[in-house]
A = this chain, B = another copy of it.
């Protein structure tokens, strides 16, 4: 009378709960996924799930967090690859875009859940965004080290890339662009070409006043420069 369906295939862990919940969201959508049904599918009572997740919404958050981790891992792979920075950046952003597009087209219910989280959980989005942005910062850092790109402040540069690419990566925009049949990949490539051209030609974000220091910062570690940029960017 313990696990009719759950015990052999589903050992009842945080991860199996997550998988079962995800399967239900896929089939019935977020609104019609309740903890009682998820628990029943695992052959346990709904209260048992609260051992692993403090609330239903924590489960939903976890589903989206998993997707975000996937994307961050994907982005990290591109950063650690060798090759021209412009191509790495284009590949990174295109891959990120394709993930969202695939979710929108082939996994609509998960996409919808993701979209809700984007609207309702600015904290989660901010964390995700910072994660991706710092990966982009590292990509730029490396290009600067190699002398491929000339950028004053990789933190600011990464922010520019993030903002310019948001249109192609934000779930709501992806949905809109794909629905409208826009030539997204061509447009994204044009954006990356433009950014890369600027970085290649050299961009200066810091005020020309602190010029002597800029040289030093360029020569030394990138982390410090990035740090100062982030710090100085919290006012207004």
Contact = CB atoms under 8 A, between A and B. Distances in A.
Interface of A: 122, 126, 156-157, 159-160, 163-164, 166-168, 173, 176, 179-187, 190-191, 193-195, 197-205, 233-236
Contacts of A183: 233-236
Nearest to A173: B166
Nearest to A183: B236
Given A126-B180, A164-B191, 5 more contacts: A156-B187, A157-B194, A160-B164, A163-B167, A193-B203
A236 to B, nearest CB: 4
Copies in the complex: 2
A156 B167 CA distance: 15
Contacts of A184: 236
Nearest to A163: B167
A233 B186 CA distance: 7
Contacts of A166: 166-167, 173
Nearest to A162: B167
The winner among A168, A197, A200 for most chain B CB atoms within 10 A is A197
A159 B198 contact: no
A167 B167 CA distance: 8
Given A122-B180, A181-B236, A163 B164 contact: yes
A23 to B, nearest CB: 29
Contact of A190 (B181, B200, B205, B236): B205
A193 B201 CA distance: 12
